Structure 1
Amino acid sequence: MPNRLRRAVAGLIAAVLLTASATTATTANAAPSSGFDNWSCKPSAAHPNPLVLLHGLGGNGPGNYSFLGPFLAAKGYCAFTLAYGQATPAIPVGGTVSIAQSSAEIQAFVQQVRQATGAAKVDIVGHSEGGFQSIYGPKVRGYAGQVGKVVALAPPTHGTEFGGLVSVGDYLGLRPLVDQVLQQFGCPACDELIVGGAAVAKLTTGPIAQPGVAYTVIASRFDALVTPHETSFIREPGVTNKYVQDTCPLDPVGHVGLAFDPTVAQLVANALDPAHASRVVCAFGPPL
């Protein structure tokens, strides 16, 4: 990426993070039927399923969802995130350990959210590796009965031809920490998510979509990391697959940018509550 574009993107993300921080402060004082990482939040009748938000490889929950988390809380959801799959708790870089280890942490977090909120089910929103985990967990770990909806943003469902999935942390200013983790601990998840990887094989053996769960997979035609783009999609009954550009053809959003794109945020909200879907106002997401 040219330096000028990289600086512009970094500026855009910084602005998004500042805006999201202000929004978080607002939602922290909101009614207890909404909130981002507000553990006193109780789901409303309109949104009975709390949200579990899963970050991408090399990132963490608070950073990856600094825009989308407050956006969904403002829509009336109880939304919760975590930093799963950290090689060491001393470094805020997640998702690098094995898919199996991360998925166990995520399953425990789902139970924690259900217990705290009193909800029978959660809805899961996942980005990149988090999108993969949102699909993998209900099937492989067997908790589909506790999940209502899954919205996966650019998941490497069938594996990706590109091995450099450590991207979210890179563009959130965590690259030195990402490099430190990779040098000290390696990245088992990276090997498992490429075409033919062990986790991909486990997920794609037999039907992927689980009965009773409504799936939406959202991808971008400009994604340079999960390629070919079609590999994100699940061509099975009960799954809605869509490109951002099917709704907003001029949106140049890339892989990382999906979590920071107002267009995608509206698509996610509509997927979570299709009975009250609103017209999407096209915007421009970060092209990275």
Structure 2
Amino acid sequence: MNRPLMAAALAAAGTLLAAWTSVPAQASTSSTFTSTSNPVLFVHGYSGDGSNWNTMADRFRTDGWPSSYLDQWTYDWHQSNTTTAQQLSAEVDRLLAATGATKVDIVSHSMGGLSSRSYLKNLGGTAKVDAWVSLGGPNHGTDTANTCFDTSCTEMRIGSDFLAALNSGDETPGSPRYATWWSPCDTVINPDSSVALAGAANTKTACLSHTGLLSDATVYAQTRDMINS
């Protein structure tokens, strides 16, 4: 081969090699934000705030969700969960208006599951929510609430009037998809069986603490795939 032809061949080979090595590995389609993905409204628990979701929200951003679709909402956790449900209703409407979406997905931790369930059951939320997630939610009460006295906390006591009304009839009403995650090592929610709901997809996690549910990578991936399915 003469020198000009050899040089051209080597240049072409180099270009092809560069193209092969510069193509990034494709992310799983299940972890990618799409045109059908909903905005996510995060609802924290007792004594928490919106910053509790920083790790999970960052993971959603890494997987393609725009920040405008990730609402780390903060509310007054001392008040009745019924009051919080009313405020949550307004926040859902605000998020829908801001994004132009028709439905939201709600991801809740601990007590946040109670106000969001109240919104779904009593305030028409089933028409505006596509998927609902409870991470370590005291859906049927917890004995750790016996030692605190805020209105919201007394509502978490096993056998409270609030929980009796919330759990009466269908525990997963309407068309939203419901899912819960519970840990056998969660010492805040007692008994462990409190978390699961009839009609929901109920998942046992690895040995995680109550707050560990917020940052565990596996719980995140399962949550992401559930709401994005």
Give the aligned partner of residue 203 of structure 2: 242
Inter-partner Cα distance in structure 2 for 1:162 and 1:230: 14
State the AA in 2 paired with 1:265: Y
Inter-partner Cα distance in structure 1 for 2:147 and 2:97: 33
How does 1:270-281 map onto structure 2 within 5 Å? 270-274=225-229
| C-alpha deviation, 1:165, in angstroms | 8.8
Q: 2:58 aligns with which of 54, 67, 70?
A: 70
How does 1:1-288 map onto structure 2 within 5 Å? 44-47=34-37, 49-61=38-50, 63-77=51-65, 78-84=69-75, 86=76, 95-163=77-145, 187-236=150-199, 239-245=200-206, 252-274=207-229
Q: Evaluate the alpha carbon distance shift between residue 124 and residue 117 of structure 1 in structure 2; reply closer, same or farther with a 3 A threshold.
A: same
| C-alpha deviation, 1:44, in angstroms | 4.6
Q: Evaluate the alpha carbon distance shift between residue 196 and residue 121 of structure 1 in structure 2; reply closer, same or farther with a 3 A threshold.
A: same
Contact 2:41-2:71 at 8 Å conserved across structures: yes
| C-alpha deviation, 1:46, in angstroms | 4.1
Output the TM-score relative to the length of structure 2: 0.80
| C-alpha deviation, 1:148, in angstroms | 0.2
Contact 1:126-1:133 at 8 Å conserved across structures: no
State the AA in 1 paired with 2:169: G
Contact 1:114-1:120 at 8 Å conserved across structures: yes
Inter-partner Cα distance in structure 2 for 1:263 and 1:230: 21
| C-alpha deviation, 1:228, in angstroms | 0.7
Contact 2:81-2:114 at 8 Å conserved across structures: no
Question: Tell me, which stretches of 5 or more residues in structure 1 are unaligned?
Answer: 1-42, 87-94, 167-185, 246-251, 275-288
Inter-partner Cα distance in structure 1 for 2:95 and 2:56: 18
SS at match of 1:134: helix
Inter-partner Cα distance in structure 1 for 2:192 and 2:84: 24
Q: Identity, % of aligned pairs? A: 27
| C-alpha deviation, 1:270, in angstroms | 1.8
The structure with the larger Rg is: 2
Q: Evaluate the alpha carbon distance shift between residue 128 and residue 262 of structure 1 in structure 2; reply closer, same or farther with a 3 A threshold.
A: same
| C-alpha deviation, 1:198, in angstroms | 2.5
State the AA in 2 paired with 1:190: C
Superposed CA RMSD: 1.7
Inter-partner Cα distance in structure 2 for 1:230 and 1:54: 21
Output the TM-score relative to the length of structure 1: 0.64
Inter-partner Cα distance in structure 2 for 1:121 and 1:80: 13
Q: Evaluate the alpha carbon distance shift between residue 215 and residue 68 of structure 1 in structure 2; reply closer, same or farther with a 3 A threshold.
A: same
Inter-partner Cα distance in structure 2 for 1:203 and 1:187: 19
State the AA in 2 paired with 1:254: S
Inter-partner Cα distance in structure 1 for 2:113 and 2:222: 15
Inter-partner Cα distance in structure 1 for 2:146 and 2:208: 18
Contact 2:133-2:223 at 8 Å conserved across structures: yes
SS at match of 1:105: helix
State the AA in 2 paired with 1:81: Q
Contact 1:127-1:155 at 8 Å conserved across structures: yes
Inter-partner Cα distance in structure 1 for 2:146 and 2:35: 42
| C-alpha deviation, 1:127, in angstroms | 0.3
